[in-house]
Amino acid sequence: MNARASPTSMVRCCISAIASATTGNGSSIIRPIASLLQRAAYGEFGIHAMSHRKGILGWADTYPAVAKHAFTFLFNQAEFGLGCPINVTDGAARLLSRFGDGALKAKYLDGLTQTDMSKLTQGGQFMTEKEGGSDVGKLTTRAVQDDGHWRLYGEKWFCSNADAKMVMLLARPEGAVGGTQGVGLYLMPRELDDGSPNHYRIVRLKDKLGTRSMASGEIKLEGAIAYAVGRLDRGFVQMAEMVNWSRLSNGVKSAALMRRAHHDMRIRLPTAWCLAAALSICRWRAGS
Ligand SMILES: Cc1cc2nc3c(=O)[nH]c(=O)nc-3n(C[C@H](O)[C@H](O)[C@H](O)COP(=O)(O)OP(=O)(O)OC[C@H]3O[C@@H](n4cnc5c(N)ncnc54)[C@H](O)[C@@H]3O)c2cc1C
């Protein structure tokens, strides 16, 4: 592994991203911090791509899962808000490479695993609906064939990384059976081939308690064009692959966050500062 991949260099890179974004008069720091941290995660370390693309950080092969989760554990101690977008981009690449046909892979796989920020395509994972949270088989989003395309109609209720350039989602093709057996897996791009926006919109962003730096939203599908991925009668089984990797990643990220919280509480911050910060966060959450 090359020197840039060491834990120390990862933390240093994240700290320098924050430091360079917070110098100056302090105005508009959130956007520069977000973009610098994105560059660290996707561009420098390629955490989303290391399971798929060889040569990341000078490593000749793809990385084993345990190495990726070690990077996830380290990175999320510095920045938690990017954890989900990195993970769902990684998961979308995994689904595409496992189940997508040659044409879909040729179109989207390179972007999902890019470390060049100008070519990167972030991914998303839209399953949850008002009718179907834990019980995904109750979802009501329909997929209708129209002039050689699949078009999607319905509403997704909890979409993290809502502005992703492509998402994997579940919908029921017209005429399919009920329950999880009847849902298909689709890839939905944010933009169509001619560069115009696809036919869906973010109705509102979620007012979340945590991970506020990442946009989660409700999305209305109004005839959005999508591509079938793999066998349509195996959509849920295929999506479960992404869900299971997300679960594992969420466990690792939670451990990282606990370690960071413990570290800050015990070592880094004087008690008075902690109390002042906690009070000001409470006031901010209460909207005063
Ligand atoms: C921060 C955040 C990000 C998210 N991002 C995404 C995303 O990117 N994409 C996406 O698709 N979804 C996302 N979700 C939604 C998440 O996947 C759903 O919240 C989850 O599937 C649960 O669904 P629900 O909220 O409708 O709860 P429900 O299914 O209504 O469950 C409510 C409660 O009932 C319990 N329960 C449900 N069924 C049973 C049962 N049969 N037996 C016993 N207990 C049961 C549950 O454990 C839970 O405690 C996100 C959620 C959060 C909080």
Atom index in ligand 1 nearest the CA of residue 132 equals: 26
The residue contributing the CA closest to ligand 1 atom 51 is 158
Residue 77 falls within a domain, yes or no?
no
What local confidence, expressed as pLDDT, does residue 278 receive? 80
The residue contributing the CA closest to ligand 1 atom 14 is 158
Residue 13 falls within a domain, yes or no?
no
Query: Given a cut of 90, is residue 275 above it in pLDDT?
Result: no
Q: Domain range for residue 110?
A: 89-242
Query: Which residues form ligand 1's pocket by a CB distance below 6 Å?
Result: 125-128, 133-134, 158-160, 208, 211, 216
DSSP 84: H
The pick from 125, 131, 134 for probing ligand 1's pocket by mutation, whose C-beta has the most ligand atoms within 8 angstroms, reads 134
27-86: pLDDT as tens digits? 455 566 778 899 999 999 999 999 999 999 999 999 999 999 999 999 999 889 999 999
pLDDT band at 198 (very low <50, low <70, confident <90, very high): very high
Residue 265, burial from CB neighbour count under 10 angstroms (0-12, 13-18, 19+): exposed
Residue 130 falls within a domain, yes or no?
yes
Domain of residue 234, CATH code: 2.40.110.20
The alpha carbon of 285 and the centre of ligand 1 are apart by a number of angstroms equal to 23
Distance between CA atoms of 143 and 145, rounded to whole angstroms?
Answer: 7
200-216: pLDDT as tens digits? 999 999 998 888 888 89
Q: Which residues of 48-73 are buried (b: 16+ CB within 10 A; e: fewer)?
A: bbbbbbeebbeeeebbeeebbbebbb
The alpha carbon of 33 and the centre of ligand 1 are apart by a number of angstroms equal to 30
Residue 18 falls within a domain, yes or no?
no
The alpha carbon of 38 and the centre of ligand 1 are apart by a number of angstroms equal to 27
What is the model's pTM? 0.86
Residue 9 falls within a domain, yes or no?
no
The number of folded domains in the chain is 1
Residue 260 falls within a domain, yes or no?
no
What local confidence, expressed as pLDDT, does residue 70 receive? 96
Task: With H, G, I as helix, E, B as strand and everything else as coil, classify residue 151.
Answer: strand
The residue contributing the CA closest to ligand 1 atom 49 is 134
Residue 276 falls within a domain, yes or no?
no
The residue contributing the CA closest to ligand 1 atom 39 is 134
What local confidence, expressed as pLDDT, does residue 3 receive? 42
The alpha carbon of 135 and the centre of ligand 1 are apart by a number of angstroms equal to 8
The residue contributing the CA closest to ligand 1 atom 18 is 133
- Strand spans (E) along the chain: 123-126, 142-146, 149-160, 166-173, 184-189, 200-205, 216-228
The fraction of the chain above a pLDDT of 90, given in percent, is 73
pLDDT band at 137 (very low <50, low <70, confident <90, very high): very high
Query: Given a cut of 60, is residue 1 above it in pLDDT?
Result: no
What average pLDDT is seen over the chain? 89
How far apart, in Å, are the Cα atoms of 147 and each of 144, 151, 168, 201? 10, 10, 22, 22
The fraction of the chain above a pLDDT of 70, given in percent, is 87
The alpha carbon of 13 and the centre of ligand 1 are apart by a number of angstroms equal to 35
Residue 140 falls within a domain, yes or no?
yes
